[in-house]
Amino acid sequence: MKIIDVVTFVVGNPWKNWVFLRVLTDEGISGIAEATMGLQTKPIEVAIHELRPLYIGLDPRRIEHLHDAIYKGTFQGAGPVVTTAISALDIACFDILGKSLGVPCHQLLGGKMWDKLRAYANGWYQGPRDPAFFGEKARQVAEMGYTALKFDPFGNAYRFLEPAELRLSLALVRAVRDAVGPDVDILIEGHDRFSVSTAVTIGDALAEFRPMFFETPVLSTDLEATVEVARRIKVPVATGERLNTLEQFARLLALGGVDIVQPETLRCGGFLGVKKVAAIAEAHKAFVALHNAQSPLTTAINAHLDATLPNFLIQECFDDAAVAWAGDLMRGVPRMVDGYLPVPEGPGLGVELNDEEMLKHPYSDRNFLRLFDEGWEQRRSS
């Protein structure tokens, strides 16, 4: 079997443009994947096509070989654009392999450890930074069945937080905790916003609300700063979505202090990359909570991985806060039931894309969430 072509699709979701691809083979089996990368779109799509000479003609079932060919062919390329392209091709090839054998991807990754996967809701707080609004929305999310939910209460803060803004942020957290009660986990998103001293002040103030974790309180590529915060506050720190190499995760965990890592499957090597990161984390007695702020396709991708990880903790899920037409783009994505995602059981990923529907939602340079702009939490395109 050989790869003969790749087709990409950009879907204009208002928060970020979603990038999808389909890898075609000479035996008629195709595989799909997602290559969405934060606030960049076109560099990823271009990279997937520019790398064609490195993977066209390869056997898609030899996935480690494909990784190696692209890595060496880009002169040991480890930048996020190249690793995102590699990740997408990895996932699509696993989809092909699973379909060719008639088994789900998780079966190829070692088989299921878990039959269902605890999920937390994100994206639910689309509206004003008002305690009453946050509390009511959080109550609604809990009533949907979620037993955990994450949110960023910090507005457009950057490095520091004015006293009035700190009081408002804590009031939002208090409103959510009061609304959902003591048995629903709350997770606080920092979005890489703060200096070490500010993060420590906030972390100390958050302790009374017992969050499951404080995510990326400082620039998450600054591993030493992240570890310093983790060691100085009582709230667990989670990080890792912006890391894209095994070396970065190995160094983070070796420094100590962080025991919840959040690999981005679409950034750190796809299925093979995450399995390696999870093994490093397991060696350091750390948990894995895969990051996912992409389309529902990544929910399915991550579910296959989560099911196989002995150190799986919880899975991020935006699906119930996604645009109404997201469900028209694909079928086969697992949906949350009573706080848990089922594990997909169809061949490969078990998901099919609808090309006709994807073409109805074109790219826009306004489809980006600017996290340091006032009012970003309203979830309106810039």
Catalytic positions are: 191, 291
Instruction: Encode 64-90: b = buried (16+ Cβ within 10 Å), e = exposed.
Output: eebbebbbeebeebeebbbbbbbbbbb
Residue 199 corresponds to which tokens in the numbers above?
């993060």
Measured from the Cβ of residue 250, the count of other Cβ atoms closer than 10 Å reads 16
Instruction: Encode 103-141: b = buried (16+ Cβ within 10 Å), e = exposed.
Output: bbbbbbbeebebebbbbbbbbbbeeebebeebbebbbeb
In angstroms, the first-to-last Cα distance of the chain is 45
Edge-to-edge strand list for the sheet holding 3-11: 3-11, 18-25, 30-34
Residue 266 corresponds to which tokens in the numbers above?
């679409």
> What radius of gyration, in Å, describes the C-alpha atoms of the chain?
20
Tally of residues, the chain: 382
Residue 62 corresponds to which tokens in the numbers above?
């030899």
| Burial classification of residue 53, based on how many CB atoms lie within 10 Å of its CB (0-12 exposed, 13-18 middle, 19 or more buried) | exposed
CA-closest candidate to residue 247, choices 237, 238, 255: 255
5 within 8 A of 96, measured Cβ to Cβ: no
Cβ-proximal residues to 209 (8 Å cutoff; 6+ apart), any chain: 173, 174, 177, 186
